């Protein structure tokens, strides 16, 4: 809560340079406040309602593709492709050809891999590779932005980039091309790695806890989203429908409590202050840990157990105190896109429960690493199956023949 007067945000130098000077993350003081006002419209209730049908379509198409693969998929890798596609197609509204999108994704991965590298600008260094990836991305983004600005016909909704441009005009600060490029790069960065991490954690927990998945299906049946026979109801989801799914909300909250994608936040001390009897000197670097906060918060019982019901009305373990549960940070630096992230995870969970069957393709679950964001070491190998109208697995032709023979 001391941002701007006790502490100031501090990203590593390589991150500041690679993300660019015009981003919300790198701005401080009044500039930060003004940028948040401009960007906040992207995540308004009306904006989320307009993104929702597009997000659902992208997720449905992706799950169909996963079910069509004869082999198991690497969930973390595929989740990264899914969130990147969502950012490019839905948030930014870019009509980039599939082949170019694949190339852009590879360049973007190189960018993300080096965004926390040592800021040493030497040939073959990670930092240099990050700079080269940023330059390539900015060229591609500028081309896509210019094409988008010239072609405004045939659109059935306002995407985040449309809203961003309009919002900046309303606040009397029309954005330059460089600011638009930095803004779009930051939006992709914010929507990409953390959401892919959380999506992978969600799938892993549904695999580990089939009773949770079945309870989720029961809620979908009770709300008319899933017929008692098993097949999903036709039609797109609405925000009002999702807000009525209380157990789903508990599941997403518990995933974000146990498997927060980001470890915490870094700050520089602007003036000496005291914290619990300890003096924190001016000029020091400090870090608050989201993960340790969740692990040690006294309000949570059996902290290592995956238990969505802890967030249900009967227990409401997160209601006592403001700072025990903060998967999206807190204060004026709270994640701007947290409602979009939760919306994406809820739609993914609904589609997984309604239209998919999936099985772990390895004997044991992989161990978890925390850098650069939380993810399974081997990416999580899972076999997905399509479903018929009775929610029975549709086996690939060869498997179906073998089953019939047996």
Neighbouring-strand partners of residue 287: 266
The alpha carbon dihedral of 227, 69, 348, 325 has a sign of positive
What's the rounded Cα separation, in Å, for the pair 229 and 377? Answer: 38
What's the rounded Cα separation, in Å, for the pair 44 and 201? Answer: 26
The 10 Å Cβ neighbour count of residue 399 is 13
Calculate the alpha carbon distances from 324 to 250, 294, 300, 305, 311 in Å: 16, 6, 9, 17, 13
What's the rounded Cα separation, in Å, for the pair 335 and 90? Answer: 19
DSSP-derived 3-state class of residue 146: helix
Q: Is 233 annotated as a binding residue?
A: no
Calculate the alpha carbon distances from 82 to 56, 78, 102, 196, 345 in Å: 12, 6, 12, 8, 12
Q: Give every CB contact of residue 115 below 8 A, 6+ residues apart in sequence.
A: 14, 15, 18, 19, 130, 189, 372
Annotated binding site: 335
Annotated binding site for heme: 335
């Amino acid at each position: 809560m001391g941002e701007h007067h006790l502490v100031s945000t501090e990203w590593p130098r390589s991150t500041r340079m690679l993300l660019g000077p015009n981003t919300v993350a790198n701005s401080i003081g009044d500039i930060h406040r003004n940028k948040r006002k401009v960007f906040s419209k992207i995540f308004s209730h009306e904006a989320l309602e307009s993104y929702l049908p597009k997000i659902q379509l992208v997720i449905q198409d992706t799950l169909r593709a996963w079910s069509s693969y004869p082999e198991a998929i690497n969930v973390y890798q595929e989740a990264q492709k899914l969130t990147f596609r969502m950012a490019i197609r839905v948030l930014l509204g870019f009509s980039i050809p599939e082949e170019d999108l694949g190339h852009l994704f590879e360049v973007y991965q190189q960018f993300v891999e080096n965004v926390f590298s040592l800021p040493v600008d030497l040939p073959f260094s990670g930092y240099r590779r990050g700079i080269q990836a940023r330059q390539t991305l900015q060229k591609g983004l500028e081309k896509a932005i210019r094409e988008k600005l010239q072609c405004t016909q045939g659109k059935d909704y306002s995407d985040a980039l449309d809203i961003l441009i309009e919002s900046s005009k309303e606040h009397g600060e029309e954005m330059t091309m460089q600011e638009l490029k930095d803004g779009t790069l930051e939006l992709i960065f914010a929507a990409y790695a953390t959401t892919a991490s959380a999506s992978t954690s969600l799938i892993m927990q549904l695999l580990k806890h089939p009773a949770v998945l079945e309870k989720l299906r029961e809620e979908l049946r009770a709300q008319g989203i899933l017929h008692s026979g098993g097949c999903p109801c036709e039609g797109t989801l609405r925000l009002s429908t999702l807000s009525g799914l209380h157990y789903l909300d508990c599941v997403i909250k518990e995933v974000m409590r146990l498997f927060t994608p980001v470890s915490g936040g870094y700050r520089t001390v602007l003036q000496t202050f005291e914290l619990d009897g300890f003096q924190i000197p001016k000029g020091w670097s400090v870090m608050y840990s989201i993960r340790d906060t969740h692990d040690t918060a006294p309000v949570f019982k059996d902290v290592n157990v995956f238990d969505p019901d802890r967030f249900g009305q009967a227990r409401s373990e997160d209601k006592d105190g403001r700072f025990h549960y903060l998967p999206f940070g807190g204060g004026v630096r709270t994640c701007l896109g947290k409602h979009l992230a939760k919306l994406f995870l809820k739609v993914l969970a609904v589609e997984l429960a309604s239209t998919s069957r999936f099985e772990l393709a390895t004997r044991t679950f992989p161990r978890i690493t925390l850098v650069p964001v939380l993810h399974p070491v081997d990416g999580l190998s899972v076999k997905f199956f399509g479903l018929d109208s009775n929610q029975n697995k549709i086996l690939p032709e060869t498997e179906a023949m073998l089953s019939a023979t047996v």
